Amino acid sequence: MKIVESIHEMRDIAERTRIDGKIIGFVPTMGCLHEGHLSLMRKAREEVDLLIISIFVNPAQFAQGEDYDRYPRDLDEDIRKASEIGADIIFYPGKEKIYPDNYHTVVIVEKITNKLCGVSRPSFFRGVATVVTKLFNIVRPHKAYFGEKDYQQLVVIRKMVKDLNMDIKIIGIPIIRESNGLAMSSRNLYLTDRERASALSLSRSLNRAKEMVDSGERAAERIISEMKSIIESGRFTEIDYIAVCDPEEFEDVDKIKERVLIALAVRIGKTRLIDNCIVEVK
Ligand code: AMP
């Protein structure tokens, strides 16, 4: 496995791989790799000739006062895990290369980025869409893999790729959870033991929501209220949002008639966690 820090070298490798007629798969990450990331990489490994992962903690998707500086970083462990999966290249560019001093361009996906996480993090998706576009232009993948853990992000990337006619297949991968239900996230490392125990209420509330729909409940309001009481019964919790919405445009749904996304963001102490599930009406 090769570590590539230079944009020029990365583009060269991508160009040669394409000329050879080989398929490039890409898994963008912010590092501190866990089983969630590794499941994307394993899936990609099965499907492509050259597997490139990127590790870049993207300053453009963190607002002032968010956790950019203290975001967990562990390159040595990441290298070990990625090479165990059989990744071919870790692209590790560093922020001065991605955003030089005279950098002025952004990519904005409208409308769907104003909902859910976009309300409390108004510049987040602009940062994500911009960096993913740049990484796509450098790595030039045929296929790119994103987790359903960040469901809105996956939909935003799909929309951007379609709207901007990017010739890349976007593949969504199911959420990987700890055995206790907690969705894996690099930010789980911030949690104290007591906060971690409280954080279990997120997946518990989603399971309860699913159960309610399965047993015939159709009123989003009653589902949200039940989820709220489960989450608020835990300590250190502050709900950012709980939404029952359509999974494409994220418009709120009052009465559940078809497939819906149930999504939430909750602060546990200082740590903001997200989770979601798709619920089908049987
Ligand atoms: P991040 O490093 O947090 O930016 O995540 C990189 C990619 O891994 C994104 O596509 C995430 O959606 C995905 N990912 C993170 N956590 C999980 C998880 N628990 N299950 C599945 N995918 C995940």
Pairing of β 271-279 and β 260-268: antiparallel
Distance from the alpha carbon of residue 36 to the mean position of ligand 1, in angstroms:
6
Distance from the alpha carbon of residue 134 to the mean position of ligand 1, in angstroms:
19
Give Dmax (Cα) for the chain: 58
Out of 26, 29, 37, give the residue to mutate to test ligand 1, the one with the largest number of ligand atoms within 8 Å of its CB. 37
Distance from the alpha carbon of residue 183 to the mean position of ligand 1, in angstroms:
10
Hey, how many other C-beta atoms are within 10 angstroms of the C-beta on 165?
6
Out of 40, 85, 90, 128, give the residue to mutate to test ligand 1, the one with the largest number of ligand atoms within 8 Å of its CB. 40
Domains of the chain: 2-173 (3.40.50.620), 186-276 (3.30.1300.10)
Catalytic hit among 8, 34, 37, 104: 37
Burial of 124: CB neighbours in 10 Å, binned 0-12, 13-18, 19+: buried
For residue 95, give the H/E element and its range.
helix 95-98
How far is it, in rounded angstroms, from Cα 87 to Cα 79? Answer: 9
pLDDT in tens, the chain (282 residues): 999 999 999 999 999 999 999 999 999 999 999 999 999 999 999 999 999 999 999 999 999 999 999 999 999 999 999 999 999 999 999 999 999 999 999 999 999 999 999 999 999 999 999 999 999 999 999 999 999 999 999 999 999 999 999 999 999 999 999 999 999 999 999 999 999 999 999 999 999 999 999 999 999 999 999 999 999 999 999 999 999 999 999 999 999 999 999 999 999 999 999 999 999 998
* pLDDT of 282: 80
Cα–Cα separations (whole angstroms), residue 64 to 105, 121, 127: 19, 10, 13
Question: Which residue shows structure tokens 């906060």?
Answer: 195
Distance from the alpha carbon of residue 146 to the mean position of ligand 1, in angstroms:
7
Provide CB contacts within 8 A for 39, sequence distance 6+. 147, 173, 174, 176
The end-to-end CA distance of the chain, in Å, is 46
How far is it, in rounded angstroms, from Cα 275 to Cα 241? Answer: 11
- What phi, psi does 55 have (nearest 5°)? -125, 110
- Cβ–Cβ < 8 Å for 252, 244: yes
The angle at the Cα of 150, spanning 39 to 178, to the nearest 5 degrees, equals 50
How far is it, in rounded angstroms, from Cα 273 to Cα 8? Answer: 36
How far is it, in rounded angstroms, from Cα 60 to Cα 95? Answer: 10
- Cβ–Cβ < 8 Å for 201, 233: yes
DSSP 114: G
How far is it, in rounded angstroms, from Cα 127 to Cα 160? Answer: 13
37 in catalytic set: yes
Q: Of all protein residues, whose CA lies closest to atom 18 belonging to ligand 1?
A: 36
Helix (H/G/I), strand (E/B), else coil: 210: helix
Verify whether ligand 1 is closer than 6 Å to residue 149 (CB atom). Answer: yes
**Identity (one letter) of the amino acid at 52?**
I
Atom of ligand 1 nearest to the CA of 28: 6
Atom of ligand 1 nearest to the CA of 146: 10
The angle at the Cα of 135, spanning 130 to 137, to the nearest 5 degrees, equals 95
